[in-house]
């Protein structure tokens, strides 16, 4: 049986491509719309009548306790006979086709969307069916992960005139999404053998709003952290989040919560944040899971430094948060990234990130916050796009894209004149939007994250290390000729492929001897952003 040696070309350098660090599978299985949980839907429920709510919740929980289905009237938002509505949460499961491994790492990918459905959230994206979610999960599966893209519960009123009401509702929306993610982890761990995953090797990716949830997931572990001053309702002197109603931090108990303990833990190995922020730096403590962040320095909605979350459609203030420029440095100092941070990374993506560390650049806010210095924080990739003429036209999520002619994108957002469609509004903060542009950023994300995940999860076996020691490639970097020497006579490698950092094959050929000379002078450097 012929075996092929895959090489990943990064500018003029080369490295052996292995499972998890490169796409070693070509096709992906997708098991779509699998139910993982059912819980109360705050988007469609009417909770204004306490007596009716109590009666409905009692009926729902009685049905669950006796093994009966929840009455259909609670699933139908148009049925006026019940006030409390429930929703079934679904997930899409991506796995590498033809893979025989049974202990694969699990990657959970949380979508963006401002905790409202697409359109209502002022944008086009906001579900597990977003283009960026689908493609990233496919890329992860092709690397040998099992990737899961869930939907989570949505619902809050960003247009309320009272800032404290907006803050309370947003905090509770994040809290519910956190509960849904914890329930997802418990469910997936319980089904680990059927999914072929290792329940002790889980990474949570969060994009935009999902980034807020991912960061909260690995840092919020004490009730006192929900009672810091900015989360206290001035009218009641208690937290905006009421555990008696919505449950504890693990997503258990509470009047308006249906999740039950199945005996599984909710521990994960790492979170990867793409454009989210941390609710408060005090949440981050020694012993929290490892974290990596990609964030646009001039993101107008999730501050790179310390700033205020605003409603995307109205730009009204909601709550102060901290961005990657603050929390990534602290995570490193606490030792939470110790399993991977001290290893040698000389790849061009890492070097690009490091080249921006320490730079002082124009920021997005007026004086005295008109500049910001990018922290020297390994594990943070600062995305630096040109400064826009308007605050909210600065780039925040270049890894996102959509169909300009889709049902929401082509709808009218503002009647004008001039008429503004959702697509036109989306381009304001993502002017280079295209599948190619978004995929390029995703390749940069995975090129940075994957080798660190390998160390964090201890994914490289002794056999793989032995393989690396059995193949010699020089010079590295190679400008004209790459020498591939098969040091071990036991290796049965007959051919090679050289891939660029987007996964495209740029050169392939046969290996006919122990020592092989490959001309690479015609290859062009790869790219990253």
Tens digit of pLDDT for each residue in 403-443? 999 999 999 999 988 999 999 999 998 999 999 999 999 99
Based on its alpha-carbon atoms, the radius of gyration of the chain, rounded to whole angstroms, reads: 24
pLDDT tens figures, 517-526:
888 887 755 4
Q: What is the pLDDT of residues 248-272, one digit of tens each?
A: 999 999 999 999 999 999 999 999 9
For a pLDDT cut of 90, what percent of the chain falls above it? 69
pLDDT band, residue 57 (cuts 50/70/90): very high
What does the pLDDT read at residue 8? 46
What is the crossing angle of helices 163-190 and 209-219, to 10°?
A: 70
Q: Could you tell me the pLDDT band of residue 369, with boundaries at 50, 70 and 90?
A: low
Distances in Å between the Cα of 9 and the Cα atoms of 86, 430, 469, 470, 497 are: 50, 29, 19, 19, 10
Q: Which residues of 135-163 are buried (b: 16+ CB within 10 A; e: fewer)?
A: bbbbbbbbbbbbbbbbbbbbbbebeeeee
3 CB burial (10 A radius; 0-12, 13-18, 19+): exposed
Residue 499 confidence (pLDDT): 66
Closest CA to 497 of 515, 486, 510: 510
- Output the pLDDT for position 507: 82
Q: Is the pLDDT of residue 12 over 50?
A: no
Q: In this model, does residue 5 exceed pLDDT 60?
A: no
Q: Among the listed ranges 198-207, 226-235, 519-528, which one has the minimum average pLDDT value?
A: 519-528
The residue among 111, 235, 109 whose CA lies nearest residue 167 is 235
144-186 pLDDT tens trace: 999 999 999 999 988 888 889 989 999 999 999 999 999 999 9
Mean pLDDT of the region 10-26: 65
Name residues whose C-beta falls within 8 Å of residue 511's C-beta, 6 or more positions apart in sequence.
5, 484, 486, 493, 494, 495, 496
User: How far apart (Å, rounded) are the C-alpha atoms in residues 442 and 461?
Assistant: 26
State residue 15's pLDDT score: 40
Mean pLDDT of 445-451: 94
pLDDT for position 16: 45
CA dist., res. 431 & res. 395, Å (int):
8
Q: Is the CB of residue 514 less than 8 Å from the CB of residue 485?
A: yes
CB 273 within 8 A of CB 293: yes
8-state DSSP, 381: E
- Residue 525 pLDDT: 54
- Residue 224: pLDDT over 80: yes
- pLDDT of the residue at 14: 40
Question: Per mean pLDDT, which range of 289-303, 381-395, 503-517 is the poorest?
Answer: 503-517
pLDDT band at 78 (very low <50, low <70, confident <90, very high): very high
Of the pLDDT bands very low, low, confident and very high (cuts 50, 70, 90), residue 192 is very high
**120 in Cβ contact with 155 (< 8 Å):** no
Residue ranges with strand state E in 76-164: 86-96, 104-110, 146-150
CA pair distance 246, 254, nearest whole angstrom? 5
Check whether 462 has a pLDDT greater than 50.
Answer: no
Beta-strand pair 495-499/4-10: parallel
Model confidence at 473, pLDDT cuts 50, 70, 90, reads: confident
User: For a pLDDT cut of 70, what percent of the chain falls above it?
Assistant: 89
> What is the pLDDT confidence band of residue 529, given thresholds at 50, 70 and 90?
low
């Amino acid at each position: 049986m012929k075996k092929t040696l895959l090489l990943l070309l990064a500018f003029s350098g080369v490295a052996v491509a292995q499972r998890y660090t490169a796409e070693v599978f070509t096709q992906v299985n997708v098991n779509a719309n699998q139910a993982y949980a059912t819980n109360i839907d705050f988007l469609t429920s009417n909770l204004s009548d306490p007596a009716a709510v109590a009666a409905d919740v009692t009926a729902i929980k009685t049905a669950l306790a006796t093994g009966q289905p929840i009455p259909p009237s609670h699933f139908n938002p148009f049925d006026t006979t019940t006030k409390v509505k429930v929703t079934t949460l679904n997930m899409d499961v991506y796995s590498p086709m033809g893979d025989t491994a049974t202990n694969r790492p699990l990657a959970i990918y949380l979508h963006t969307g401002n905790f409202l459905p697409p359109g209502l959230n002022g944008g086009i994206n906001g579900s597990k069916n977003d283009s960026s979610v689908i493609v990233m999960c496919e890329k992860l599966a092709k690397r040998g992960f099992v990737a899961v893209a869930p939907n989570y519960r949505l619902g809050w009123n960003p247009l309320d005139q009272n800032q404290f009401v907006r803050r309370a509702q947003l905090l509770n929306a994040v809290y519910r999404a956190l509960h849904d993610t914890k329930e997802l982890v418990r469910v997936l761990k319980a089904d680990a053998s059927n999914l072929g995953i290792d329940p002790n090797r889980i990474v949570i990716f969060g994009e935009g709003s999902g980034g807020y949830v991912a960061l909260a997931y690995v840092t919020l572990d004490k009730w006192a952290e929900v009672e810091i001053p900015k989360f206290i309702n001035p009218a009641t002197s208690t937290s905006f989040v009421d555990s008696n109603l919505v449950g504890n931090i693990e997503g258990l108990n509470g009047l308006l919560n249906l999740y039950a303990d199945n005996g599984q833990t909710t521990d994960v190995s790492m979170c990867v944040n793409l454009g989210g922020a941390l609710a408060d730096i005090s949440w981050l403590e020694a012993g929290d899971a490892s974290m990596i962040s990609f964030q646009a320095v001039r993101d107008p909605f999730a501050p790179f430094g310390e700033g205020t979350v605003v409603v995307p459609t109205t730009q009204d203030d909601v709550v102060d948060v901290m961005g990657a420029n603050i929390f990534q440095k602290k995570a490193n100092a606490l030792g939470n990234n110790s399993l991977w941070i001290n290893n040698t990374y000389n790849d061009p993506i890492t070097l690009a990130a490091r080249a921006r560390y320490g730079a002082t650049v124009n920021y997005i806010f007026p004086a005295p916050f008109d500049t910001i210095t990018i922290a020297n924080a390994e594990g943070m990739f600062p995305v630096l796009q040109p400064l826009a003429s308007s605050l909210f036209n600065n780039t925040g999520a270049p890894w996102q894209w959509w169909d300009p002619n889709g049902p929401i994108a082509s709808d009218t957002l503002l009647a004008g004149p001039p008429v503004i469609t959702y697509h036109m509004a989306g381009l304001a903060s993502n002017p280079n939007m295209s599948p190619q542009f978004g995929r390029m950023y995703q390749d940069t994300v995975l090129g940075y994250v994957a080798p660190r995940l390998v160390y964090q999860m201890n994914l490289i076996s002794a056999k793989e290390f032995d393989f690396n020691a059995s193949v010699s490639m020089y010079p590295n970097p190679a400008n004209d000729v790459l020498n591939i020497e098969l040091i071990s006579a036991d290796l049965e490698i007959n051919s090679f492929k050289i891939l660029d950092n987007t996964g495209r094959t740029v050169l392939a050929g046969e290996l006919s001897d122990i020592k092989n000379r490959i001309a690479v002078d015609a290859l062009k450097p790869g790219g990253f952003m």
